[in-house]
Amino acid sequence: MDSLFKKFSTAYGEGQGYGLAETLSPIPPPSQPDKLQRFYRSTNFQSVRSDFQYRLLYDNSNPVRLDAVEGKAWVEIYCSYWSAIGELLEAEAAILKNQKVQC
């Protein structure tokens, strides 16, 4: 999670739209094939929202300061991304095991 929010802060602070888009990519870079698994396992269903709120809105080490409305929107985006990554990982695991994915 740290690397994602560091990249978010850099891209947001420099106004790099493509950099922000990369933080939401469902395809891991070849140099980090386990990036999505590490991101998904960095939190859990019960604390995902509070973890992302802290990182985006309250973390003093974050150089970017977002207003409350925009910050909450980014929290929603990253919570949805986290959930989607979980679904992708489950589908990938089912393919490897030759099983059906439960919806």
Tens-digit pLDDT profile for residues 79-102:
999 999 999 999 988 888 877 666
pLDDT given for residue 63 in this prediction: 87
Residue at 71 is within a domain: yes
Q: Which domain holds residue 66?
A: 2-97
Residue at 16 is within a domain: yes
* Domain total in the chain: 1
Please write the tens of the pLDDT for every residue from 43-79: 999 999 999 999 999 988 888 999 999 999 999 999 9
Distance CA 12, CA 19 (A): 8
Residue at 103 is within a domain: no
Q: How crowded is residue 66: how many other Cβ atoms within 10 Å of its Cβ?
A: 15
Q: How confident is the model at residue 15 (pLDDT cuts 50, 70, 90)?
A: very high
Contact 66, 74 (CB under 8 A): yes
